[in-house]
Structure 1
Amino acid sequence: MSEIVIFGAGGRAGRHAVAEAVARGHRVTAVVRDPAAHQALAGDGVALVRGDATDAGSVAAVAAGHDAAISAVARLDTPPEEFFVGTAHALLDGLARAGVGRLVLIGIGTTLEVSPGVMLLDTPGFPADARAFSLGHVAELEALRAAPTSVDWLVLAPPPTLLDAEAARTGRYRVGGTQVAAAEEGVLFPYADLAAALVDEIEAPKHHRTLVAVAP
Structure 2
Amino acid sequence: MFGAGGRVGRAAVAEAVRRGHTVTAVVRDPAKYPDLDGISGVTPVRGDATDADDVARTAAGHDAAINASVRLDVPSESYFTATARALTSGLKRAGVGRLLVLGIATTLETAPGIRIMDDPRFPEQYRTFSRGHVAEFDLLAAESGPLDWLMVVPPMDLAPDAPATGRYATAIGAVTGTGRISHADLAVALLDEIDAPKHHAVQLAVSH
TM range (shorter): over 0.9
Output aligned runs, 1:40-79, within 5 Å: 40-42=35-37, 43-79=39-75
2:192 equivalent among 190, 200, 207: 200
Structure 1: state its 5+ residue gaps: 1-5
Instruction: Describe the superposition over 1:187-207 as per-residue Cα deviations: whole angstroms up to 9, x where unpaired.
Output: x31000000000000000000
Alpha carbons of structure 1 residues 148 and 47: separation in structure 2 relative to 1, 3 Å? closer
2:113 maps to 1:128: no
Structure-1 residue corresponding to 2:183: 191
Alpha carbons of structure 1 residues 148 and 16: separation in structure 2 relative to 1, 3 Å? closer
Structure-2 residue corresponding to 1:31: 26
Q: Is the 8 A contact 2:25 2:42 kept in 1?
A: yes
The amino acid that maps onto 1:13 is V
Q: Is the 8 A contact 2:173 2:202 kept in 1?
A: no
Output aligned runs, 1:1-216, within 5 Å: 6-42=1-37, 43-159=39-155, 161-183=156-178, 188-216=180-208
The amino acid that maps onto 1:41 is L
SS at match of 1:176: strand
User: For 1:209 and 1:175, how far apart are their aligned partners in 2?
Assistant: 15
Percent of aligned pairs with the same residue? Answer: 57
User: For 1:17 and 1:109, how far apart are their aligned partners in 2?
Assistant: 18
Structure 2: state its 5+ residue gaps: none
The amino acid that maps onto 2:32 is A
Displacement, 1:124?
1.9
User: For 2:159 and 2:30, how far apart are their aligned partners in 1?
Assistant: 25
CA RMSD, aligned part only?
1.0
Displacement, 1:33?
0.3
The amino acid that maps onto 1:197 is A
SS at match of 1:163: strand
Q: TM-score, normalised by structure 2?
A: 0.97
User: For 2:94 and 2:13, how far apart are their aligned partners in 1?
Assistant: 20
SS at match of 2:137: helix
Instruction: Describe the superposition over 1:8-59 as per-residue Cα deviations: whole angstroms up to 9, x where unpaired.
Output: 0000000000000000111100000010001111220000100000000000
Q: Is the 8 A contact 2:25 2:44 kept in 1?
A: yes
The amino acid that maps onto 1:37 is K
User: For 1:195 and 1:143, how far apart are their aligned partners in 2?
Assistant: 24
SS at match of 1:25: coil
Instruction: Describe the superposition over 1:168-202 as per-residue Cα deviations: whole angstroms up to 9, x where unpaired.
Output: 11110012221111417xxx310000000000000
Q: TM-score, normalised by structure 1?
A: 0.94
